[in-house]
Amino acid sequence: MSQLEIRNLHVSVEDKEILKGVTLTVKQGEIHAIMGPNGTGKSTLAYTLMGHPAYTVTEGEVIFKGQNILELEPDERARLGIFLAFQYPVAIPGVTVANFLRSAMNARRRAENPEDKGIPIPEFRKMLKEKMDLLKMDHSFAGRYLNDGFSGGEKKRAEILQLATLQPEIAILDETDSGLDIDALRIVAEGVNALMGPHLGVLLITHYQRLLNYVKPDFVHVMLDGRIVESGGPDLALHLEEHGYHWLREKAEENA
């Protein structure tokens, strides 16, 4: 069973320290939710894990499949089995959802076997239709240009379809609920739930407890000022919804 092990991670952006010693382990089959106010380092953690060049790691390591992935390029991390769903997915006019997904699948297959000629088109179409049926998506979605003219909900559904197709072992979902109305949120959450199982571990980053009404986490972690200051079960998210974060700030100050 694979696991993503974050050890004492310190990260800076333009010489300003954002993450100040994050330690966390996400195993396949588990859902970990990270909550916290704006500006506490949640998205910084997501982008650092996938290798965004704007983020400088000053200390710590991230171990996955026996490797420190901080030494790998973003595409190498993806081919290893790590996936990031963006808070603000980028539009790619002229590239259909289907062509994008087939190219991504073939890149991963060739990383495992350089002689692989890619997934045959009939096999890919059958697989893609099965995934879209699982996510209750209209098949015409596959022929649209990726995120071009998509609503906020459609962009997030496209990210979940990528997750379903690429079948990573660890998925990082960066504020998947951002900008969604309640109906779109429910649809996206149903997609995540449909993909959950013993072979997928999820690191779910969110501001609000409302997403966790639909996607039930095994563990909830609270991030403040670049650190994880509290961890617990699903009840922690409900407590935060009712009481906010001020009690944790006071607790952190008392322990400082």
Which of 73-77, 172-176, 223-227, 242-246 has the lowest average pLDDT?
242-246
Instruction: Using alpha carbons, list the distances in angstroms from residue 16 to 9, 70, 74.
Output: 14, 19, 23
Residue 32 burial (CB count, 10 A): 21
Give residue 81's pLDDT.
92
Cα–Cα distance for residue pair 81/104, rounded to 1 Å: 12
Q: Give 68's contacts (C-beta < 8 A, 6+ positions apart).
A: 61, 62
Give the domain extent around 246.
Answer: 3-255
Residue 54 burial (10 A CB sphere; 0-12, 13-18, 19+): exposed
Give residue 86's pLDDT.
84
Give residue 176's pLDDT.
80
Residue 237: band (very low, low, confident or very high) from pLDDT cuts 50, 70, 90? confident
For residue range 49-108, list pLDDT tens digits in order: 999 999 999 999 999 999 999 999 999 999 899 999 988 888 999 999 999 999 999 988
- Percent of the chain scoring above 90 in pLDDT: 61
Cα–Cα distance for residue pair 163/72, rounded to 1 Å: 21
How many domains is the chain partitioned into structurally? 1
CATH number, residue 61: 3.40.50.300
Residue type, 55: Y
Q: Is the pLDDT of residue 251 over 80?
A: no
Q: Which of 128, 123, 159 is nearest to 143 (CA)?
A: 128
